Amino acid sequence: MDGTVLVADDDRTIRTVLTQALTRAGCRVHATSSLTTLLRWVEEGKGDLVVTDVMMPDGNGIEMLPQIKTMRPGLPVIVISAQNTIMTAIQATEAEAWDYLPKPFDLPDLLSRAGKAMESSRRGSVRVKAPAPAAAAPVVAPEPAAAADLPLVGRTPSMQALYRLVARVMNAELPALITGESGTGKSLLARALHDFSDRRAQPFVLASAQDFTGDQNSAGTAMMARARGGSLVIDGLGDLDATAQARLVRLLDSMPPDGPRIIAIADGTLNGTLEAGNFRHDLYYRLSGVTLHVPPLRERIEDIPLLAEHFLARAARDGGNPRRLSTSALELVRQYRWPGNVRQLENVIRRLVITGQEPEIGRAEIESALNAHPAAAPSGESSEAGTLAESVARHVRRYFELHGADLPPPGVYQRILREVEAPLIDIALEYTGGNQARCADLLGINRNTLRKKTNELDIRVTRRRKLM
């Protein structure tokens, strides 16, 4: 990899790590903690690539992108940010960043993207992006407060891949199919697809499977007319009977070119219904122009603390008692299966804010709140849903599918191993009461290796209630 990279980040450690890694890769690097300095370098013609943080002492990295584009139209910019929300991915895409990575980022992944960005710039090619928003539209469509209320928060690879996919397709002239278990946030994702798109000034209309039943399809036709050039969301897709499916096919075929974008929502049983022959393949193909799968909460354990913090802050803002989770309470929250997914987590947090008085939420409070939420298996699954290998295969397949026609960035092997390692070590520590020597023996690894792994994976090693 050859070229000059301009790095802007107010974290000295990140500047040092990026400088060393990019230098080893063959690049020349200029690093700064100031956006003002970065802009001066760009204006002077320095650099073949910019890597910038968002929140800087003297400004916002994303808001600075239009200036960079004006000064140097062909200069690619990679945005890195600790703000692990869908908002950041969408803002970066609308501001025409070449790419976006959340913190903490995978260093080999960033180096790979940096190499592709500089090669693309040298070839004079342009990265494919969604169409620009309507004339003079701001970079962020919803009001900041409304956008902050979206619990679409996550730093796990599966969620970040989903955010990037949403940013790429939000203005595409394709129907969208959103799948996932109950409570994962499918309807929120549909709302985000509309609110951040260039259709946001048009109506957002929600229809249910019942609107396509009965002797006539007048309700579906009326909703299509109401939606005009906005978005028509069809919820409960898998609940449509054969007659309703046929009516929906005819309705879609009669839709005018300037009609609404169709967004369909289905639970995790749709594939089984399709394979069993109970769902029309022609309807599925009409609706699945792009498929967005929202992973269940148990597959994104590392996002649970972020979501819990989000819900606690929102409850306090709405007039509740400011509260925080103790270390032991957070540990239990991470261990719970969450059959109701994000919706269940939100309900539990709201209940704790309303019923508790102490600033800190203890483990006993969490246990009491969860007693009313039995950890049953999600709908359509048994509690022993196949072997571990089958579960891993499902997770890996979803990860690849989230990238659509693209392959995931290099480094898949290490990223998947990391997601398996973290819960394995965490649960082993739980069952050995936090005894590292016993845990290392149980896992069959050296104690120094265990200590290294807990540091790398950010696993808190504390004395725990012994379960074995």
CATH of the domain at 13: 3.40.50.2300
Task: Tell me what the mean pLDDT of segment 228-240 comes to.
Answer: 92
Q: Is residue 401 part of a domain?
A: no
Q: Is residue 175 part of a domain?
A: yes
Range of 19-28, 141-150, 241-250 with top mean pLDDT: 19-28
Distance (Å, whole) CA 53 – CA 6: 11
**Which residues form the domain of 357?**
298-370
- For residue 148, pLDDT over 70 is answered with no
Mean pLDDT computed over every residue of the chain: 83
For 165, 262, 401, the CA distances from 405, given in Å and listed in that order, are 11, 21, 8
Task: Tell me what the mean pLDDT of segment 412-429 comes to.
Answer: 83
Which residue's structure tokens are 């109701």? Answer: 340
pLDDT band at 378 (very low <50, low <70, confident <90, very high): very low
Judge if 273 and 245 occupy the same domain.
yes
Kindly report the CATH number assigned to the domain that includes residue 442.
1.10.10.60
Domain end among 370, 386, 403: 370
What confidence score (pLDDT) does residue 269 get? Answer: 78
Distance (Å, whole) CA 282 – CA 343: 32
Task: Tell me what the mean pLDDT of segment 31-53 comes to.
Answer: 96
Judge if 39 and 118 occupy the same domain.
yes
Cis-peptide, bond into residue 104, ω within 30° of zero: yes
Judge if 11 and 85 occupy the same domain.
yes
Range with lowest mean pLDDT among 69-73, 168-172, 227-231, 459-463:
459-463
Judge if 424 and 347 occupy the same domain.
no
Range with lowest mean pLDDT among 80-94, 173-187, 305-319, 395-409:
395-409
| Closest by Cα among 99, 264, 270, 66 to 181 | 270
- For residue 231, pLDDT over 80 is answered with yes
Kindly report the CATH number assigned to the domain that includes residue 329.
1.10.8.60
Judge if 284 and 330 occupy the same domain.
no
Calculate the CA dihedral of residues 335, 337, 340, 346 and round it to 10 degrees. 0
Judge if 273 and 177 occupy the same domain.
yes
Range with lowest mean pLDDT among 237-246, 378-387, 401-410:
378-387
Range with lowest mean pLDDT among 134-143, 236-245, 252-261, 282-291:
134-143
Q: What would the two tokens of residue 45 be? A: 């013609």
Q: Is residue 151 part of a domain?
A: no
| 271 or 349: which leads in pLDDT | 349
Q: Is residue 76 part of a domain?
A: yes
What confidence score (pLDDT) does residue 124 get? Answer: 66
Hey, what amino acid is at 41? W
Q: Is residue 138 part of a domain?
A: no
Domain end among 62, 88, 123: 123
Judge if 287 and 225 occupy the same domain.
yes
What confidence score (pLDDT) does residue 360 get? Answer: 94
Judge if 245 and 178 occupy the same domain.
yes
Range of 175-179, 238-242, 303-307 with top mean pLDDT: 175-179
Reported pTM: 0.67
Which residue's structure tokens are 């025409």? Answer: 96
What confidence score (pLDDT) does residue 167 get? Answer: 87
Distance (Å, whole) CA 155 – CA 101: 10
Judge if 9 and 118 occupy the same domain.
yes
Q: Is residue 314 part of a domain?
A: yes
pLDDT band at 347 (very low <50, low <70, confident <90, very high): very high
Element (H, E) at 227: helix 218-227
Show Cβ contacts of residue 323 under 8 Å, excluding neighbours closer than 6 positions: 312, 315, 316, 352, 353, 356, 358, 359, 360, 361
What confidence score (pLDDT) does residue 402 get? Answer: 55
Q: Quick one: how many helices (H) and strands (E) in the chain?
A: 20, 14
What confidence score (pLDDT) does residue 406 get? Answer: 65
pLDDT band at 383 (very low <50, low <70, confident <90, very high): very low
What confidence score (pLDDT) does residue 17 get? Answer: 93
Hey, what amino acid is at 294? V
What confidence score (pLDDT) does residue 140 get? Answer: 41
Kindly report the CATH number assigned to the domain that includes residue 224.
3.40.50.300
| Total structural domains within the chain | 4
Q: Is residue 25 part of a domain?
A: yes
What confidence score (pLDDT) does residue 51 get? Answer: 97
Judge if 357 and 442 occupy the same domain.
no
What confidence score (pLDDT) does residue 318 get? Answer: 86
Distance (Å, whole) CA 260 – CA 215: 24
Q: What percent of the chain is predicted at pLDDT more than 90?
A: 44
pLDDT band at 464 (very low <50, low <70, confident <90, very high): low
What confidence score (pLDDT) does residue 139 get? Answer: 38
Task: Tell me what the mean pLDDT of segment 419-447 comes to.
Answer: 87
- For residue 91, pLDDT over 80 is answered with yes
What confidence score (pLDDT) does residue 117 get? Answer: 92
Judge if 339 and 416 occupy the same domain.
no
Domain end among 123, 142, 158: 123
pLDDT band at 372 (very low <50, low <70, confident <90, very high): low
Judge if 83 and 54 occupy the same domain.
yes
Q: Is residue 272 part of a domain?
A: yes
pLDDT digits (tens, 9 = 90+) for 205-228: 998 877 776 655 577 788 889 999
